[in-house]
């Protein structure tokens, strides 16, 4: 019988609740003993602080980088094309900001003698290719994301769980510094029609600035993709089994809060203006810098310490997280679940080829693909374009964007309760079924509204926005948090790093496809683009209905039994 001896470490600052303190003697934990029923597991201050520090410095930052740039596209697009002056704006909302803050006039062609007062129109035969170029910064963000997600398994091979989170933070710090630099070395603030000397001076360092901008977006994406692996694994491993779903969902909750705060900061009354958008996309680096300091105050993952054959340190970490000395039963449970640590950690090739991991892998990959191919990031990357397409104008677009953030946040908060009350499977299956109908309805309203005259569009625009908000609610209670939770629950420990990296890679690759193709497809087929999302959601519904197990409060053998 194999055993691990654990020396109890005294913790004078911790008072056990509901239990008698374990004396400082040696306790033998056997992986062959019957699993001890765990004590009632509750939230503790230490657990909450650990979650807040991790998600605020990684997941929240990711959310801001998703939601914020959408508000700045109207400034970034002409700037990246080589037209940096205040009145050179293309869409209705950006022109409204230019009129309000820079006194621009859009009905006097005499002001455009040098060709740099207004933004030149894109020829119709170049709309698709220009759409691809305009979306490049979002494309680079998601390319960085799936590379960062794929790299997660390698960070785990050389670093502990906590140290891997720390390694994530310098990428965002550097990205923020580069983003700040961009608008200082290449900008145009001339309100009138600029002369050639002013134009040449403004564009002198254009290529360098745009290179800094694109590198910044790539690094932000890399940090975001990496955090989807390293942060979610740490949260899963420090959480009690009874709270595993809720703690795992805190990653998605922080992303949603980040999206909402990013939307607020991006309003023109704050940083969403011609001369301040770089700060709107850079300020989150401060949170990564703070996180890089406070991460060292957190306990290491007790599960990882058990894997490393460090039972004493694991017990100490678990005491700090649970704020109790009565951790024997949970430590035994962890040890029993980690009996697979004797096996060699599997690489991606082995996991892909193994029949044992076929269905855990397929369901995880499909969940993560469906999360992105449902169209959610089309909403958050390009909601300005979507609301304009639906029929909103001027400042009303901003209220529509804020509505998406508020609804997303409220629905995610509700999901934190539902995910442990109803489980994972119902919150995926039934919202997916309703999303299919919502997408069909949204397509119909947008296509019909696009054929109406300008003064007849607002009524149907409101209906279209209601459909978008319903879609966000359905997404937030299921496809938002559950792919991160589920992917951490269904793999044996020797396959966990590779399986999770593959899942996050697919997640970010599908995100890449949406970022790359949404604007060109929207230019080519208009509102019918949502039918493409509808098809992917329908495929995911059928497969997951048949093959997705419930994982709520279940041990790995119970989950695996579903597929046998």
Query: How much is the pLDDT for 392?
Result: 65
Among 203, 230, 237, 254, which residue's Cα sits nearest to residue 88? 203
Q: Is the pLDDT of residue 40 over 70?
A: no
| pLDDT category of residue 29 using cuts at 50, 70 and 90 | very low
Q: Is 361 left (phi over 0), alpha (psi -120 to 50) or beta?
A: alpha
Ordered DSSP codes for 80-102: HHT--STT---SHHHHHHHHHHH
Among 327, 409, 298, which residue's Cα sits nearest to residue 51? 298
Q: In this predicted model, what pLDDT tens digit does every residue of 82-129 receive, in sequence order? A: 999 998 888 778 888 998 999 888 877 777 777 788 888 888 888 778
78-111 as b/e: b if 16+ CB within 10 A: bbbbebbbbbbbbeebbbbbbeeebebeeeeeee
Q: How far is CA 155 from the centre of its chain?
A: 19
Q: Is the pLDDT of residue 197 over 60?
A: yes
Structure tokens at 210: 């745009």
Residues 230-259 have a mean pLDDT of 87
Query: How much is the pLDDT for 262?
Result: 92
Which CATH code is given to the segment(s) 346-563? 1.20.1250.20
Query: How much is the pLDDT for 14?
Result: 38
Structure tokens at 53: 């520090």
The reply to whether CATH 1.20.1250.20 applies to domain 41-83+122-298 is: yes
Fold agreement between 41-83+122-298 and 346-563: yes
The domain ranges of the chain are 41-83+122-298, 346-563
Q: Is the pLDDT of residue 174 over 50?
A: yes
Among 175, 186, 211, 188, which residue's Cα sits nearest to residue 283? 175
Query: How much is the pLDDT for 426?
Result: 92
Q: In this predicted model, what pLDDT tens digit does every residue of 271-285 receive, in sequence order? A: 999 999 999 999 999
Cβ–Cβ under 8 Å, residues 283 and 176: yes
- The Cα 523–Cα 123 span in angstroms is 12
Structure tokens at 448: 């019909």
- The Cα 13–Cα 29 span in angstroms is 25
The radius of gyration of the chain from alpha carbons, rounded to an integer in Å, stands at 25
Q: Is the pLDDT of residue 412 over 50?
A: yes
Q: In this predicted model, what pLDDT tens digit does every residue of 289-309 receive, in sequence order? A: 999 999 999 999 998 898 888
Q: pTM of the full predicted structure?
A: 0.79
Three-state secondary-structure class, residue 532: helix
Query: How much is the pLDDT for 13?
Result: 40
Query: How much is the pLDDT for 344?
Result: 65
Q: Is the pLDDT of residue 202 over 60?
A: yes
């Amino acid at each position: 019988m194999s055993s691990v001896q654990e020396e109890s470490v005294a913790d004078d600052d911790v008072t056990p609740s509901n239990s008698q303190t374990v004396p400082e003697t040696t306790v033998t934990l056997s992986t062959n003993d019957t699993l001890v029923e765990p004590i009632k597991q509750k939230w503790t201050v230490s657990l909450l602080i650990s979650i807040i520090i991790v998600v605020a410095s990684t997941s929240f930052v990711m959310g801001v980088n998703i939601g914020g740039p959408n508000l700045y596209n109207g400034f970034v697009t002409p700037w990246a094309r080589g037209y940096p002056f205040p009145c050179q704006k293309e869409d209705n909302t950006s022109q409204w900001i230019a009129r309000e803050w820079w006194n621009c006039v859009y009905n006097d062609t005499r002001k455009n003698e040098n060709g740099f007062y207004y933004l030149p129109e894109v020829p119709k035969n170049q709309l698709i290719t220009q759409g691809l170029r305009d979306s490049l910064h979002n494309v680079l963000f998601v390319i960085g994301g799936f590379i960062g997600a794929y790299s997660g398994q390698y960070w785990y091979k050389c670093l502990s769980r906590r140290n891997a989170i720390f390694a994530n933070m310098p990428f965002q710090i550097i990205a923020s510094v580069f983003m700040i630099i961009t608008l200082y070395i290449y900008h145009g603030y001339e309100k009138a029609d600029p002369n050639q000397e002013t134009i040449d001076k403004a564009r002198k360092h254009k290529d360098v600035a745009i290179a800094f901008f694109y590198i910044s977006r790539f690094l932000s994406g890399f940090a975001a993709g990496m955090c989807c692996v390293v942060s979610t694994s740490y949260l899963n491993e420090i959480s009690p089994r009874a709270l595993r779903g809720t703690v795992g969902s805190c990653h998605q909750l922080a992303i949603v809060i980040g999206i909402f705060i990013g939307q607020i900061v991006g309003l023109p009354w704050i940083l969403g203006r011609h001369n301040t958008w770089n700060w709107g996309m850079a300020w989150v680096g401060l949170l990564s810098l703070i996180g890089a300091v406070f991460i060292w105050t957190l306990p290491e993952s007790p599960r990882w310490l058990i894997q490393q054959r460090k039972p004493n340190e694991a017990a100490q970490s678990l005491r700090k997280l649970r704020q109790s000395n009565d951790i024997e039963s949970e430590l035994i449970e962890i040890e029993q679940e980690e009996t697979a640590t004797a096996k060699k950690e599997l690489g991606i090739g082995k996991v892909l080829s193994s029949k044992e991991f076929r269905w855990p892998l397929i369901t995880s990959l499909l969940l993560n693909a469906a999360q992105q191919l449902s169209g959610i990031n089309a909403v958050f990357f390009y909601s300005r374009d979507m609301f304009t397409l639906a029929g909103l104008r001027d400042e009303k677009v901003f209220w529509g964007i804020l509505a998406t953030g508020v609804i997303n946040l409220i629905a995610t908060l509700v999901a934190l309760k539902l995910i442990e009350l109803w489980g994972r499977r119902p919150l995926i299956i039934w919202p997916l079924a309703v999303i299919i109908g919502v997408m069909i309805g949204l397509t119909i309203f947008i296509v019909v509204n696009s054929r109406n005259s300008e003064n007849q569009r607002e009524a149907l625009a409101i209906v279209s926005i209601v459909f978008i908000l319903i879609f966000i609610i359905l997404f937030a209670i299921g496809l938002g948090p559950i792919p991160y939770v589920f992917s951490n629950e269904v793999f044996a420990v020797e396959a966990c790093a590779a399986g999770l990296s593959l899942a996050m890679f697919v997640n970010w690759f599908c995100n890449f496809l949406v970022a790359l193709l949404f604007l060109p497809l929207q230019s080519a087929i208009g509102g019918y683009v949502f039918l493409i999302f509808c098809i992917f959601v329908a495929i995911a519904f059928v497969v997951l209905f048949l093959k997705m197990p419930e994982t709520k409060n279940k041990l790995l053998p119970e989950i695996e039994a579903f597929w046998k």
